[in-house]
Amino acid sequence: MIDASDSSSTRPYLIRALYEWCTDNGYTPFIAVLVDEGVRVPNEYVKDGEIVLNISFDATSALKLGNEYIEFKGRFGGVARDILVPVDRVLAIYARENGQGMAFPMLASSGDAPDEAAAESKPTVLSSVVKTPDDKGPDGPRPGGGARPALTRVK
């Protein structure tokens, strides 16, 4: 009998599945990342300890969606940068155009009670779009000057 605690995390598999869904449907896959010392991103684009990254084919080079890390080369302000994101730091993956995707819980710290960690361990489906006045991303103004969608959790 296989114990659930012995199996690997579903997070990297769900990230790859949603990435494929986005690209198959002509959407732009974005990931929201909780930045800490293990995340290698341009710090000047980190806001409130988080960064949103475009991981589309057009925005990345040498993209690897692995079980432990997401790695790629991306351009920020015209400068190529090596990006390394541990999969467990991904907060969400979603389509830029409509906000559909999935949010992931952060792993519980060792001080949390087991019942609290279990209650927060399920991914959340994202299906709504909230427009914000900010139309600039890490690569400058967006084409068409449209507002950037934001994540809304739907339970």
The domain that holds 87 is classified in CATH as 2.30.30.220
Where on the phi/psi map is residue 66: left (φ > 0), alpha (ψ -120 to 50), or beta?
Answer: beta
110 confidence band (pLDDT: 50, 70, 90)? very low
Q: Looking at the whole model, is its pTM more than 0.85?
A: no
Is the pLDDT higher at 131 or at 102? 102
What type of residue sits at position 119? A
> What sections of the chain are H helices per DSSP?
11-24, 114-119
128 confidence band (pLDDT: 50, 70, 90)? very low
Q: What would you measure as the largest C-alpha separation in the chain, in angstroms? A: 55
Residue 12 has pLDDT above 80, yes or no: yes
Give the structural domain span for 140: 4-153
Is the pLDDT higher at 74 or at 120? 74
Tally of structural domains, the chain: 1
Rounded to a whole number of angstroms, the distance between the first and last alpha carbons of the chain is 32
* The two three-digit tokens of residue 73, written as one number: 């080369």
* The two three-digit tokens of residue 80, written as one number: 């190529």
% pLDDT > 90, the chain: 61
